[in-house]
Structure 1
Amino acid sequence: MASTSDPSQQDAVIRKQKRGFPIKFLVPLIYAPVLPLIRLSLRRNPVVRDRLFTAVLAGAFAHGFYLVTDIYDAESK
C-alpha cells in the first residue's frame, strides 16, 4: 500500500479534485428567483400557479437531497 506522502497518489488526488466547474452547486441560483416569479406571473391562474410552484419546490428539495447524499456518499468512501 502506498502512503499518502507518495507523490503519485497526491497527483491523482489533485487531478480528481480539478475535474471541472461544479455547476450542480449553482443550480439554486437559477431556481430561487423562479419561485417568486411563478407566484407573481401566474396570479390570475391559481390552479396552474400552485401546481407549478409545488413542482419546482419539490424539484428544489430533490436536488438538495441529491447533493447531500452525494456528499455523504463521498465521505463514507
Structure 2
Amino acid sequence: MAAPSDLSNEEVVVRRPKRGPPFKFLVPLIYAPILPLIRIGLRKNPVLRDRLFFGVLACGFLHGSYLVTDLYDSESK
C-alpha cells in the first residue's frame, strides 16, 4: 500500500463529457430531404433515379442498423 504522501502527488485524470452535437444521430436530417429531391430532380432519367434512390435508402438503413447495434453493444457492457 502506498504512503499517503505518494497518493497526494499522483495526478487525477478527470474526463469531461464531449460537448457538441452527436453527429451520428443527425445524419437522418440529411437523408430526409435528399430522398424526395432525388425523385423530383431525376424524373427524366428513371434508371439513374431508381438506382440512386435505393442506394441512398440502403445507406440510411445500414446507418440505422449500425446505430442500433452500437447502442445495444454499449448498454450490454
Q: Provide the TM-score with structure 2 as the length reference.
A: 0.77
The residue number in structure 1 matching 2:35 is: 35
Q: Return the offset for 1:19.
A: 1.9
Match of 1:19 in 2: 18
SS of aligned partner of 2:43:
coil
Q: Secondary structure at the match of 1:43?
A: coil
Q: Identity of counterpart residues, as a percentage?
A: 67
Counterpart of 2:8? none
Q: CA–CA distance in 2 between the matches of 1:60 and 1:32?
A: 9
- Alignment pair present for 1:65 and 2:65: yes
Q: Which has the larger radius of gyration?
A: 2
In structure 1, distance between residues paired with 2:42 and 2:56: 14
The corresponding residue for 2:46 is 46
Q: TM-score, normalised on structure 1? A: 0.77
- The Cα shift of 1:31 comes to 1.0
Distance 1:32 1:53 in 2: 12
- The aligned amino acid for 1:64 is G
Structure 2: runs of 5+ lacking an equivalent = 1-11
Q: Which runs of 4+ in 1 moved over 2 A?
A: none
RMSD of equivalent CA atoms: 1.5
| Structure 1 residues 36-72: Cα deviation after superposition (integer angstroms, max 9, x where no partner) | 0000000000000000000000000000000000000
In the alignment of these two chains, the number of paired residues is 64
Whole-angstrom CA distance in 2 between matches of 1:54 and 1:25: 21
